[in-house]
């Protein structure tokens, strides 16, 4: 199903979707996947899944506060000679080093980059982009009902995407604004973090303190935002089958 057709297909389920900020399903997906009509190839989709599986091995290894992790030699070869060329500086051009440099043509060691060394923030930033792209591929063939059954996941993603552009210019923390803070505290945090799929948020960084991650204070750094977006899109991908 092309995303531009989803809004019409969703009319039987109601125009305004709970958990989606009052938007209909078509508008929501158009915001999340603006290039949805340009579907990745099967080969690119397979590579994205392979790359995600490789990178997730480093989630338990990467320092949560300061310091870096580095690819094992075999993974470094795969990254530099395949994924970095075909997914970052080619193919779907998923933001990695270019997110930080602002230059889509230059190759840099920032992000996971050309040196295969990365911080917690850099790893999660790219995992978020990978699972978002994987979800964008899957949503093309998902029925409207599958999307609307996961309204909280899509609604939360749409809300948090507004804050991605604050980084990397912002070096400190950003706070959820206005109704976003209310929606997070009253809907998404209880339904997605403390209930439902129980997505890791504060628990990844410090299980005893709910102010970590996006948390109960709605105040977050880039690493905390990208970490939760990675978990969110991974769950979306899972629910889309």
Residues 137-143, mean pLDDT to the nearest whole number: 85
pLDDT band at 10 (very low <50, low <70, confident <90, very high): very low
Give me the pLDDT at residue 22, please: 58
The pLDDT of residue 23: 63
CA 238 from centre of chain: 13
Statement: residue 27 has pLDDT above 70? yes
C-beta of residue 38 within 8 angstroms of C-beta of residue 168: no
What is the model's pLDDT at position 11?
37
Contact 137, 45 (CB under 8 A): yes
Q: Judge whether residue 42 has pLDDT over 50.
A: yes
Handedness of CA 90, 105, 225, 147 (dihedral sign): negative
pLDDT at 6: 47
Termini Cα distance of the chain: 15
What confidence category does residue 15 fall into, taking pLDDT thresholds of 50, 70 and 90?
Answer: very low
Taking the C-alpha atoms of residue 102 and residue 194, their distance in angstroms, rounded to an integer, is 36
User: What are the residue boundaries of the structural domains of the chain, listed by start?
Assistant: 42-137
Percent of the chain with pLDDT over 90: 76
Q: Which two tokens stand for residue 66?
A: 């300061």
pLDDT for res 16: 47
Q: Do the Cβ atoms of 21 and 32 come closer than 8 Å? A: no
Residue 20 confidence class, pLDDT cut points 50, 70, 90: low
Buried b (16+ CB within 10 A) or exposed e, 47-72: bbeebbebbeebbeebeeeeeebebe
Is residue 26 predicted with pLDDT exceeding 90? no
Radius of gyration, CA atoms only, the chain: 18
pLDDT at 147: 81
* Position 12 pLDDT exceeds 50: no
- Coil, helix or strand for 175? strand
Report, as an integer, the average pLDDT of 185-210.
Answer: 98
Q: What is the pTM of this model?
A: 0.91
pLDDT at 8: 42
Residues 81-109: pLDDT tens digits? 999 999 999 999 999 999 999 998 899 99
| Segment 32-57 mean pLDDT | 88
CA dist., res. 125 & res. 226, Å (int)? 5
């Amino acid at each position: 199903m092309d995303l531009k057709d989803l809004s019409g297909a969703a009319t039987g389920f109601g125009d305004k979707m709970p958990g989606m900020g009052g938007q209909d399903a078509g508008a929501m997906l158009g915001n999340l996947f603006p290039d949805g009509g340009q579907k990745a190839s099967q080969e690119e989709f397979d590579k994205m899944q392979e790359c995600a599986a490789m990178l997730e091995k480093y989630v338990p290894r990467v320092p949560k506060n300061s310091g870096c992790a580095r690819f094992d030699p075999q993974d470094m070869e795969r990254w530099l000679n395949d994924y970095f060329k075909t997914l970052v500086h080619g193919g779907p051009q998923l933001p990695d080093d270019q997110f930080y440099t602002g230059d889509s043509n230059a190759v840099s060691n920032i992000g996971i980059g050309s040196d295969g060394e990365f911080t917690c923030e850099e790893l999660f930033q790219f995992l978020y982009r990978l699972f978002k792209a994987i979800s964008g591929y899957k949503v093309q063939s998902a029925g409207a009902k599958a999307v609307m059954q996961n309204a909280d996941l899509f609604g939360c993603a749409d809300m948090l995407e507004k804050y991605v552009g604050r980084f990397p210019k912002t070096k400190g923390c950003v706070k959820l604004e206005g109704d976003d803070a209310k929606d997070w505290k009253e809907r998404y945090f209880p339904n997605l973090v403390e209930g439902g799929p129980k997505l890791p948020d504060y628990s990844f960084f410090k299980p005893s303190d709910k102010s970590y991650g996006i948390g109960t204070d709605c105040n977050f750094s880039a690493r905390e935002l990208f970490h939760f977006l990675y978990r969110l899109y991974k769950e979306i991908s899972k629910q889309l089958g």
